[in-house]
């Protein structure tokens, strides 16, 4: 390679790293800002130009913020909802995805494409009649409206994702099992599920994120503070403690931590799952 070309290669490399560095700093800045404020005295937060090192280092913001409102109760509620939703989503979306990819039956693909249209229906559009239905059934202020729907296929997004994955498994495996006298249920349990653990884990992670982040559902269905989820609890906290930014930042940091930890643990599956949804099916 001639030296001029080599030089320009080096320069373009440097430029790329420079852009990446600046972009990374701006993407991280809100996080740094959040964490730094969560350890500060309320007075120091307002100092301009901004200071980056908390002094004094007020770690007490955390216990104080978390005991100002019953965050433990909120966490327990969130986890309760989470367990029921996860179970419903994982069981019923695996079942449906199996039926829509590994079993041949009349009308299968037509029904599947009709069901997929539900992805285009905004949550609010169905929210009002669903709310009125739950009201008639006496389900307001219970966790039922937030958990029961998960047991009906677990959302077409998850069915789609699992189906995409199931389609990559060789059909010879099913056929061999059927020749040995297996029933479809046994094929699902003994052939497909063991091979699909990464995809099922991906669905579990996505489900965690959506329950953890859900705001509209709990706001609409839960009005007793004892039933609040973390997201709603924090939202009311924001309303109550508008001046106490260090508390708000501490509580927000706690809220952010579980998804981030989960992301780092399941990063591999997460990336796979996102890739899978982007593939055309």
Partner 1 sequence: MRKLELKWGIILALPAILGFLIWNLGPMIASFVIGFTDWSVAGSPEFIGLANYKEIFFDDFIAKKSIIVTLYFAGGSVIVSMVTAFLAALLLNRKIRALPLFRTIFFLPSIVPAIANAVVWLWLFNPDFGLLNYILEIFGLSRLQWIYDEHQVIPSLIMMSAWGMGYTMMIFLAGLQGIPQQLYEAVAIDGGNWWHKFRHVTIPMMTPTIFFNLVMGLISSFQAFAQPYLMTNGGPNYASMLYCYYIYQNAFQYGRMGYASALSTILFIMILVLTLLIFKTSSYWVYYEGGRGR
Q: Is 171 in the site for partner 1 (CB under 8 A)?
A: no
Tokens found for residue 125: 């559009």
Measured over the CA atoms of residue 106, residue 109, residue 110 and residue 116, the dihedral's sign is positive
Q: Restricting to residues 90-129, which ones interact with partner 1 according to CB under 8 A?
A: 92-93, 95-96, 98-100, 103-106, 108, 111, 114-115, 118-129
Smallest distance, partner 1 to C-beta of residue 157, A = 10
Residues contacting partner 1: total by CB under 8 A: 92
Smallest distance, partner 1 to C-beta of residue 77, A = 15
Q: Restricting to residues 24-83, which ones interact with partner 1 according to CB under 8 A?
A: 24, 27-31, 33-34, 37, 45-46, 48-50
Q: Is 17 in the site for partner 1 (CB under 8 A)?
A: yes
Tell me which stretch binds partner 1 (CB under 8 A): 1-9, 63-71, 195-203, 266-274: 266-274
Buried b / exposed e over 220-242, threshold 16 CB at 10 Å, is bbbeeeebbbbbbbbeebeeebe
Smallest distance, partner 1 to C-beta of residue 59, A = 19
Angle made by CA atoms 249, 72, 84, in degrees to the nearest 5: 110
- From 146, 188, 200, 203, residue interacting with partner 1 (rule: CB under 8 A): 188
Smallest distance, partner 1 to C-beta of residue 186, A = 10
Q: Is 271 in the site for partner 1 (CB under 8 A)?
A: yes
- From 216, 226, 240, 265, residue interacting with partner 1 (rule: CB under 8 A): 216
Smallest distance, partner 1 to C-beta of residue 37, A = 7
Distance (Å, whole) CA 14 – CA 275: 29
Kind plus residue range of the DSSP H or E element containing 224: none
Buried b / exposed e over 45-55, threshold 16 CB at 10 Å, is beeeeeeeebe
Distance (Å, whole) CA 137 – CA 129: 12
Distance (Å, whole) CA 130 – CA 31: 37
Q: Is 245 in the site for partner 1 (CB under 8 A)?
A: yes
CB 61 within 8 A of CB 262: no
The smaller minimum CB distance to partner 1, of residues 195 and 209, is found at 209
């Amino acid at each position: 390679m001639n030296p001029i070309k080599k030089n320009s290669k080096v320069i373009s490399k440097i430029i790329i790293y420079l852009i990446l560095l600046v972009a990374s700093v701006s993407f991280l800045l809100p996080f740094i800002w959040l964490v730094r404020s969560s350890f500060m005295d309320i007075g120091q937060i307002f100092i301009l130009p901004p200071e980056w090192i908390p002094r004094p280092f007020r770690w007490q913001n955390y216990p104080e913020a978390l005991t100002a409102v019953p965050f433990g109760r909120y966490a327990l509620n969130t986890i309760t909802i989470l367990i029921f939703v996860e179970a419903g989503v994982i069981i019923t979306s695996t079942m449906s995805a199996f039926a829509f990819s590994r079993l041949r039956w009349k009308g299968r693909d037509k029904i599947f494409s009709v069901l997929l249209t539900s992805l285009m229906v905004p949550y609010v559009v169905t929210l009002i009649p669903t709310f009125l239905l739950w009201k008639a059934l006496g389900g307001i202020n219970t966790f039922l409206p937030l958990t029961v729907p998960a047991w009906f296929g677990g959302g077409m997004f998850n069915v789609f994702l699992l189906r995409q994955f199931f389609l990559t498994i060789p059909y010879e495996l099913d056929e061999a099992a059927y020749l040995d006298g297996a029933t479809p249920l046994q094929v699902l349990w003994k052939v497909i599920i063991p091979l699909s653990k990464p995809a099922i884990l991906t669905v579990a992670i996505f489900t965690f994120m959506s329950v953890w982040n859900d705001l509209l559902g709990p706001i609409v269905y839960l009005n007793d503070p004892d039933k609040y989820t973390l997201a709603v609890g924090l939202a009311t906290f924001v309303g109550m403690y508008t001046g106490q930014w260090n508390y708000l930042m501490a509580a927000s940091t706690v809220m952010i931590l579980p998804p981030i930890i989960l992301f780092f643990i399941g990063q591999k599956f997460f990336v796979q799952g996102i890739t899978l949804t982007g593939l055309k099916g």
